[in-house]
Amino acid sequence: MSYLFETYNRKNIQIKQAKGTLVKDEHGKSYLDFIQGIATCNLGHCPDIVTAPLKKQLDRVWHVSNLFQNDLQEKVAEQLVQHSAGDLVFFCNSGAEANEAAVKLARKHTQKTTIITFEKSFHGRTYAAMAATGQEKIKAGFGPMLPGFHHLSFNRLGELDQFMDDDIAAVMLETIQGEGGVIPASQAFLQEVAAFCKKKRALLIVDEVQTGIGRTGKAFGYQYQGLSPDIITVAKGLGSGFPVGAVIAKKDLGQSFSPGSHGTTFGGNMLAMTAANATLDTIFQKSFLEAVKAKGDFFQEELKTLLQYPLTKDIRGKGLMIGIECIVPVQPVIEELQSEGLLVLSAGSNVIRMLPPLNVATDELIMAVEKLNHVFEKAKINHTEENFFSLR
């Protein structure tokens, strides 16, 4: 009997110990964890460079509210600003909250209403973030959505220009749709979005909750396409597993978040800021980001061996955010990989998503590729017409 709401389809194991890429379940079985809290433990589990300052901060001060000056917040904000197109930072506790704040900021600043987002996007589960999300299944049963959100086709050129509305506050997107299936935005599409925003005097909001904090081999995913977003949202990897989110915005938006306009009790909590500072000190180093990119390129190259199997359709992603698209639902193969000691997750129904820690070792990547090949080989032998992954 469980006292928990069944809001999650949980795996049948509990992680009792975790360090770096490796986790151990309650039976002592080890796994390579290529989920990492869903792109959250970007330095691997329990990284010493984060736990050491956290332990010190635990004995100093935990939480004082935002009624006080806070140089830990200043330091994290400075790091985020120095590595992004933004100038000012607001701290919150999650990705949904960051997106909620971004929508509020965009509407207040522009005094306009419409927010354009894209099909298959995922922006979180609060009402504004849910309204922004381009997936009906996320909204089903939750009554009227917050009005003013329109979803256009992702990566379809020409559609924005047919959108006849002059009340557009912002266009909001992920540069690689994560939950939607690890789908990268094309350069041409992003250029069109940027030009549209300029023409309509709408803000560009880039949701970097999954792609940010080094995941793609750059500090933020949008930096591959040379965009200059007005608002960037982050969470997940920012605290290495400590709950924290942030909105980073250009300075002219500053007056719209004036005293009393927005806030949250825990945002910028000292423990979260300590974790974030230590995380960014490492991840934002040029050599670290270059290594993420190199490892990602190596991993994608090795994964191409999987294309020999008829059930594999595509391998894509950037840095260490990788999707393997298959021609059928991937849940059974994910379960088989788990029993082989590799933890991965799905993105949509047909994509295996892999989010190893950014400091993953090359031999761990090779081990993962071997396990994948082994399971795909078994699937090839055991498949039926109805279910390619009928493995057992």
Ligand X SMILES: Cc1ncc(COP(=O)(O)O)c(C=O)c1O
Binding site for ligand X (CB under 6 A): 38, 94-96, 99, 122-124, 174, 178-179, 207, 209-210, 235
Residue 363 tokens read as: 């031999």
Q: How far is the CB of 212 from ligand X (least distance, A)?
A: 9
Contact 306, 376 (CB under 8 A): yes
CB of 21 or CB of 210, closer to ligand X: 210
CB of 205 or CB of 365, closer to ligand X: 205
Q: How far is the CB of 210 from ligand X (least distance, A)?
A: 4
Q: How far is the CB of 38 from ligand X (least distance, A)?
A: 6
CB of 32 or CB of 35, closer to ligand X: 35
Among residues 207, 211, 262, the alpha carbon closest in space to that of 230 is found at 207
Q: Does the annotation list 209 as a binding residue?
A: yes
CB of 318 or CB of 371, closer to ligand X: 318
Q: Does the annotation list 264 as a binding residue?
A: yes
Hey, what amino acid is at 161?
Answer: D
Q: What is the dihedral of CA 280, 283, 285, 291, to 10 degrees?
A: 180
Q: Does the annotation list 392 as a binding residue?
A: no
Among residues 169, 36, 195, the alpha carbon closest in space to that of 115 is found at 169
Q: Does the annotation list 125 as a binding residue?
A: yes
Q: Does the annotation list 210 as a binding residue?
A: yes
Q: How far is the CB of 26 from ligand X (least distance, A)?
A: 25
The CA distance from 252 to 315, in Å, is 40
Q: How far is the CB of 11 from ligand X (least distance, A)?
A: 17
Q: In the complex, which residue's CB is closest to ligand X?
A: 95
The CA distance from 72 to 195, in Å, is 37
Q: Does the annotation list 95 as a binding residue?
A: yes
CB of 44 or CB of 237, closer to ligand X: 237
Long-range CB contact pairs, 20-28, < 8 A, 24+: 20/44, 20/45, 20/47, 20/357, 20/359, 21/45, 21/356, 21/357, 21/360, 21/361, 21/364, 23/343
Q: How far is the CB of 8 from ligand X (least distance, A)?
A: 12
Q: Does the annotation list 111 as a binding residue?
A: no
Contact 202, 171 (CB under 8 A): yes
β-pairing, 30-33 vs 342-343, is: parallel
Q: Does the annotation list 207 as a binding residue?
A: yes
CB of 177 or CB of 312, closer to ligand X: 177
Detail the residues annotated as belonging to a binding site for N(2)-acetyl-L-ornithine.
125, 264
Detail the residues annotated as belonging to a binding site for pyridoxal 5'-phosphate.
95-96, 122, 207-210, 265
Detail the residues annotated as belonging to a binding site.
95-96, 122, 125, 207-210, 264-265
